[in-house]
Structure 1
Amino acid sequence: MTLYGIGLGPGAADLLTVRGKRVLEDVAVVYTPGRLSRRVAREYVAESKLGDLDFPMTRDPEELRRAWREAADAVAPTALDGDGAFVTLGDPCIYSTFGHLRRTLEREHSDVDVEVVPGVSSVTAFASVFGVDIEAGEELCLREAADGAAPTGPERMILFKVTDVPTTHEKLTAAGYDVTFGRRLFMDDEDPLITDDPDELGERDYYTLAYAVRSDADQTADDSPFSELA
């Protein structure tokens, strides 16, 4: 049988894929790693079908490895007897907690089949909120920017986990970037915010994205392939 890693999307229940909805309804147990993912899953499965997994908020590698072993030991019997699911916000393969679980299962429970159901990620969905069109041939890089980090170099970047907005903003603007921030986008019952003012986002929040563009980047879309066909 199978353990499915299901991407729930960025947080709005109606951004779950049709395939994800079908699998959630079919499996015996749905494991959720946190409050927000559980809230989305409850839109599609009964509370009695949900199982909790506890993951510590720590950078201690040994403590994290222990937590993932315990999680793998918990889900493996379900996946061997029937089908189960582990749900995560966004996509299971993009900076997701699911990757740790999958690797632990492969190492310690190799008889468990694992299948991924992709989800809409906030690092791609951001474009529809920011009004950004990434044209063919343009460079766009994904970077993490926790605790005031401010990576530079690429012409355009999506930054995620921007937990110290003022510091990241100061460093990026000094390096010649224009920066727009988005917080808790596409999350039901949350208060989303889009701004280029770092003072509006002084409070630390894990669910903050930024779109950074070098000030000298060419912002003019190239429509020549279409005009040639006119």
Structure 2
Amino acid sequence: MFTNTDLTGYTVLVAGTPEAARRAIRRYGAAGATVRTLSSPAAYKPEMLDGVALVVAIDDGDPRWSALPETCRRRGLLVSREEAAAPGGHVTLIGGGPGAEDLLTVRARQVLQEADVVFFDRLAPHRNLAEYAPGAELIDVGKRPGHHKVTQREIERLMIQSAQEGNNVVRLKGGDPYVFGRGGEEVISCAKAGVPVSVVPGITSAISVPAAAGIPVTHREISHLFTVVSGHAPLTDAEYEHLAGLGGTVVVLMGVGTLPQLTAGLRRAGMKADMPVAIVERGYSDSQRTTISTLTGVVTAAGAAGVKPPAILVIGEVVRLANGCEETAGKLAELADTLGA
């Protein structure tokens, strides 16, 4: 396969049925080549090879293609044999993990290679998406706080429409599709429309981003459970009471905007004032940063640090185990003294 090479100025002949050859046609076109197509062995004419630098022979199951590679070799042409594109007409939801490209799963990379269309979010690893999904149409449907570029219902409509047109559709999300990723809604929409859909799980940021800061969500004799909470909207008093009463570790996704309500609610529910809290911003990026404080001090600390989303909140004794744990413990002790806790 030559699609990682700049083929501008070269002519490539892709031989195979339109359905089987559609991925190759896109890939070589994206690499800059002038693409000619030959959809049937019966349509072959010798002049079709004039000016061609490479012939791509797609294995579409027709035995009559067997003579073409030998014909090309006699004319001194390069021949690349490729598998037929996977059948289209379905949707695959992919969890892209916390954003680092090397944390994409092997299966995710394989599915992207066969994609015709990719709808991707801003928190998904998309910087080199054109390389992972060569020739695919890439559509940014990312949501930002207070601004949805494309509504959820419109995303679902576009995915279904594209699949019904015969495409392999990939919905690439950050984290895991089923952890506050609205993956369930998208699967239900596809199923109602009669579109086959599958899910490739991803590494959820609820576990991986705390780990990037050296914080385990569980630790023997410190925390034997953890709870993952959406901070998108304030919780009810009953929910605060449940969280405070459970103990263990609380991990909050999308919680920067509701941090004051969250901390006040947990204090009202009886969580101690000096409970350690960490805010991990932009996990696994070059600008990753961790702000550590206590339940009653974290709002002030976040304001002083200029904390902004995307960020993960970790509430619990495990925060004392963060990278540089001795320094962390010392800072927390000082805060506790200041608060009189």
| Interval of TM-score (by shorter of Structure 1 and Structure 2) | 0.7 to 0.9
Task: Give the number of aligned pairs.
Answer: 208
For residues 58 and 207 of structure 1, the distance between their equivalents in structure 2, rounded to whole angstroms, comes to 13
For residues 72 and 2 of structure 1, the distance between their equivalents in structure 2, rounded to whole angstroms, comes to 13
Match of 1:162 among 255, 275, 286: 255
Cα–Cα, structure 1 residues 209 and 178, in superposed 2: closer, same or farther, change >3 Å? same
| Paired position in structure 1 for 2:216 | 132
Q: Does 1:195 align with 2:291?
A: yes
User: What amino acid does structure 2 have at the position aligned with 1:113?
Assistant: P
| Paired position in structure 1 for 2:64 | none
1:180–1:194: 8 Å Cα contact kept in structure 2? yes
| Paired position in structure 2 for 1:222 | none
SS of the equivalent of 2:277 reads: strand
Match of 1:210 among 313, 331, 337: 313
Cα–Cα, structure 1 residues 152 and 214, in superposed 2: closer, same or farther, change >3 Å? farther
Match of 1:143 among 229, 241, 257: 229
For residues 181 and 68 of structure 1, the distance between their equivalents in structure 2, rounded to whole angstroms, comes to 28
C-alpha displacement of 1:134? 1.8
| Paired position in structure 2 for 1:152 | 244
Cα–Cα, structure 1 residues 146 and 121, in superposed 2: closer, same or farther, change >3 Å? same
1:126-170 per-position Cα deviation (integer Å, ceiling 9, x unaligned): 342233262478121111234676653321211121214762456
Larger radius of gyration: 2
C-alpha displacement of 1:21? 0.5
More divergent stretch after superposition (144-153 vs 27-36): 144-153
1:1-38 per-position Cα deviation (integer Å, ceiling 9, x unaligned): 32000011101111100110110011111111337553
Cα–Cα, structure 1 residues 124 and 33, in superposed 2: closer, same or farther, change >3 Å? same
Give matches, 1:35-74, under 5 Å.
37-39=125-127, 41-42=129-130, 44-46=132-134, 49-53=137-141, 67-74=151-158
Point out which structure has higher relative CO (alpha carbons under 8 A, 6+ apart): 1
SS of the equivalent of 1:131 reads: coil
1:91–1:120: 8 Å Cα contact kept in structure 2? yes
TM-score, normalised with respect to structure 2: 0.52
Q: Does 1:90 align with 2:170?
A: no
| CA root-mean-square deviation | 3.5
TM-score, normalised with respect to structure 1: 0.73
For residues 54 and 131 of structure 1, the distance between their equivalents in structure 2, rounded to whole angstroms, comes to 28
2:97–2:124: 8 Å Cα contact kept in structure 1? no
Which sections of structure 1, spanning at least 5 residues, go unmatched?
220-230
| Paired position in structure 1 for 2:91 | 3
| Paired position in structure 2 for 1:13 | 101
Cα–Cα, structure 1 residues 181 and 169, in superposed 2: closer, same or farther, change >3 Å? farther
For residues 308 and 228 of structure 2, the distance between their equivalents in structure 1, rounded to whole angstroms, comes to 18
Cα–Cα, structure 1 residues 114 and 104, in superposed 2: closer, same or farther, change >3 Å? same
